[in-house]
Amino acid sequence: TTRTWDYLGLSASSPKNLLNETNMGEQIVIGIIDTGVWPESEVFNDDGLGSVPSHWKGTCQSGEMFNSSHCNKKLIGAKYFINGFLEENKSFNSEESLDFISPRDLNGHGTHVATIAAGSHVQDISYKGLAGGTVRGGAPRARIAVYKGCWYLDDLDVTTCSSADILKAMDEAIHDGVDVLSLSLGSAVPLYGETDIRDGITTGAFHAVLKGITVVCAGGNSGPEAQTVTNTAPWIITVAATTLDRSFPTPITLGNNKMILGQAMYTGPELGFTSLVYPEDPGNSNETFSGTCEDLSLNSNLTMEGKIVLCFTTSSSSGSASTAAGSVKKAGGLGVIIARHPGSDLEPCVDDFPCVSVDYELGTNILLYIRSTSSPVLKIQPSRTLVGQPVGTKVATFSSRGPNTIAPAILKPDIAAPGASILAATTTNTTLNDGGFIMLSGTSMAAPVISGVVALLKALHPDWSPAAIRSAIVTTAWRTDPFGEQIDAEGSSRKLADPFDYGGGLVNPEKAVKPGLVYDLALEDYVLYMCSVGYNDSSISQLVGKSTLCSNPRPSVLDLNLPSITIPDLKEEVTLTRTVTNVGPLNSVYRVKVEPPLGVQVTVMPKKLVFNSETKKLSYQVRVSTKHKINTGFYFGSLAWISSVHNVIIPLSVRTQVLQNYFDEN
């Protein structure tokens, strides 16, 4: 977070901005459901904070190495939920487990995400000199309530979260009076339906949202493949991850004096010119050679000992780098150059072992150099921190992509935020931490960025519903980076980002303060949604606690009043409706501007919306038809309502399906 908030335009030094106008969210409580909290971290200091908000009813639960005195005016709640986990993991031994049977965090993940959402200012933090600056949350004076529902299972060396525990945590958080709920967890596709309890988060979130609590969830790390986004219910804010305008270039110099800037978090000493090898069969050997990063251990020690090793991998996971580094180190090697597809999952190697990533093109350059000389050598210098141009913003490779597999007409993810190489607090015993701070990547890190922004917006607009807040964030998002350069979607190959990569775009907190118009949703809209996706009257009645009857014919899911229009199966012309609520100047006039998707005709009626003291809500209709004669992929456009001061933009995504329910492959 040493860069996140300045990058997003929320600098603490600006005298008048969202941060300062809301007293940094001091009256807001953000609930974090995760692996717990490391309360000694400086990010939970309560310096200068006033008394706990009066609506707070939560408590601090004592347990192993945690008691109520660990809470303060910053960390105002801490509870743990383990019953579901214990029932499902009979081998778990609470006496012997490394995890703490209390709200105390073992993994560090919960502490990290809590920092991102609402950590207090802590100056002069870095990871061994990299990414230095002030660590803080999006709403640095907001209060944090931690609900530990994820536990370390020693037998399998995994951290897992039982949905029964998570649901209980949500139930308690609703009772305690959280204003925002942040969940950096989820399941994998195939997903359960969002209208039933097969997904606990979805169900808990539904009731939280009906009570005015905004629920923010990570969209998942299964990118860059399409149709991988999770936590896709229309009442949840689903978050994608981008990179920052920050990188860690690491100079590597070949023996021919050609310098290449790789990427690493290498903070050890310079490794002077050292023999360089790419393990490959010279043609006259009976030994095994492998230049594949995951298979370096197949090489003899002699091949790698005392050398820097070049390897290639098709994986973008940091696991390949650490596996390669481990193999080279074990063989007595001195460093490793990993040639891989571009990705954003960068991690330091254990014990400051020199490990530098390059792309295939640069890796091939190094390979050609090796083959061109009898004694190839290479020098590695420590990584540096590069901030600002020319480092561009990308939707991270790992960030899960739409379309939404449960309800393709509901655009997911909703929004994107920085989630790659984020420096924030952790436990002091986590591997790769530096003084209790660590760099982590994932949509886990992006979700609490949005939670922090939501906290500030909620402080400024306490009467806005969760849907209105989501709308404000989505319609004002950057579709470029904050400096006007395009946002790419990292993958193989890189492309211009679209709504399935980043929803409305990259969150623009200052713009979201005054969105002009919002696409609001209330209970009756969610009922219409459930009717449209086929739920029966009695189930809906029980879900919402009052008698409901779906219309006949059932309403169209396309009419759900989202700040997006997604038509996954356009064949005949369709007409859909949206309603906008004026939250800007009373007397406002908006005119429509449509950028239709390729080969799609979009007509909006009326073309002008006039608001005054009497008219605060207006509806418009959108008629959409296709010129395509074949089944196409999704094409993207936008629909904007423009006044003299506001541009209220929603993404348009349309797929033509002449032949419906058809797996389009030949």
Partner 1 sequence: AAESKVHIVYLGEKQHDDPEFVTESHHQMLCSLLGSEEDAHGSMVYSYRHGFSGFAAKLTKSQAKKIADLPEVVHVIPDSFYKLK
CB-nearer residue toward partner 1: 18 or 346: 346
Query: Minimum Å distance from CB 483 to partner 1?
Result: 28
Binding residue for partner 1 (CB under 8 A) from 2, 22, 115, 162?
162
Q: Are 206 and 215 in contact (CB under 8 A)?
A: no
Interface residues for partner 1 in 476-535 (CB under 8 A)? none
Q: Rounded distance, CA 128 to CA 437, Å?
A: 10
Query: What is each CA distance from 297 to 72, 323, 349, 355, 551, in whole angstroms?
Result: 50, 9, 17, 16, 65
CB-nearer residue toward partner 1: 201 or 649: 201
Q: Rounded distance, CA 519 to CA 532, Å?
A: 19
Query: Minimum Å distance from CB 187 to partner 1?
Result: 6
Q: Rounded distance, CA 124 to CA 661, Å?
A: 56
Query: What is each CA distance from 121 to 136, 514, 645, in whole angstroms?
Result: 5, 26, 34
SS3 at position 552: coil
Query: Minimum Å distance from CB 447 to partner 1?
Result: 8
* The amino acid at 150: C
Q: Rounded distance, CA 448 to CA 146, Å?
A: 13
Query: Minimum Å distance from CB 530 to partner 1?
Result: 11
Binding residue for partner 1 (CB under 8 A) from 166, 265, 409, 565?
166
Is there a catalytic annotation at residue 34? Answer: yes
Tokens of 253: 């110099």
Interface residues for partner 1 in 448-467 (CB under 8 A)? none
For tokens 């979009």, the residue is 602
Binding residue for partner 1 (CB under 8 A) from 75, 377, 447, 474?
447
Q: Does 175 bind partner 1 (CB under 8 A)?
A: yes
How big is the site for partner 1, counted in residues (CB under 8 A)? 59
- Beta-bridged to residue 426, according to DSSP, are none
Query: Active site residue: 41, 184, 441, 444, which one?
Result: 444
CB-nearer residue toward partner 1: 84 or 452: 84
Tokens of 475: 């319609």
Strands (E), 583-616: 588-595, 600-605, 608-611
Tokens of 350: 């254990």
Nearest CA to 244 out of 359, 394, 452, 437 is that of: 394
Interface residues for partner 1 in 183-242 (CB under 8 A)? 184-188, 192, 196-198, 200-201, 203-204, 207-208, 211, 218-221
Binding residue for partner 1 (CB under 8 A) from 101, 189, 261, 544?
544
Binding mask 404-443 for partner 1 (x = CB under 8 A): --------------------------------------xx
Q: Does 444 bind partner 1 (CB under 8 A)?
A: yes
Q: Rounded distance, CA 656 to CA 96, Å?
A: 57
Nearest CA to 84 out of 141, 18, 167 is that of: 167
Q: Helices 200-210 & 163-176, crossing angle to 10 degrees?
A: 10
- Beta-bridged to residue 591, according to DSSP, are 608, 642
Please provide the distance, in angstroms rounded to a whole number, between the alpha carbons at the two ends of the chain.
46
Query: Minimum Å distance from CB 164 to partner 1?
Result: 4
Q: Which segment (10-18, 162-170, 308-316, 485-493) binds partner 1 by CB under 8 A?
A: 162-170
Q: Rounded distance, CA 175 to CA 207, Å?
A: 11
Interface residues for partner 1 in 95-114 (CB under 8 A)? 107, 109
CB-nearer residue toward partner 1: 164 or 261: 164
Query: Minimum Å distance from CB 238 to partner 1?
Result: 11
Q: Does 55 bind partner 1 (CB under 8 A)?
A: no
Query: Minimum Å distance from CB 426 to partner 1?
Result: 13
Q: Does 342 bind partner 1 (CB under 8 A)?
A: no
Query: Active site residue: 99, 102, 109, 165, which one?
Result: 109
Q: Are 414 and 450 in contact (CB under 8 A)?
A: no
Query: Minimum Å distance from CB 348 to partner 1?
Result: 20
Interface residues for partner 1 in 126-155 (CB under 8 A)? 150
Query: Active site residue: 34, 179, 199, 498, which one?
Result: 34
CB-nearer residue toward partner 1: 208 or 652: 208
- Beta-bridged to residue 566, according to DSSP, are 653
Please name the helix (run of DSSP H) or strand (run of DSSP E) that holds residue 380, with its range, or none. Answer: strand 377-380
Binding residue for partner 1 (CB under 8 A) from 21, 40, 47, 88?
88
User: What residues contact 6, with CB distance under 8 A and at least 6 apart?
Assistant: none
Give 478-531 as a DSSP string: BSB-TTSPBPEE-SSS-EE--HHHHTT-B--HHHHT--SEE----HHHHHHHHH
Interface residues for partner 1 in 559-598 (CB under 8 A)? none
Binding site for partner 1 (CB under 8 A): 34-35, 81, 83-84, 87-88, 107, 109, 150, 158-168, 170-175, 184-188, 192, 196-198, 200-201, 203-204, 207-208, 211, 218-221, 442-444, 447, 538-539, 541-546
Which residues are known catalytic residues? 34, 109, 444
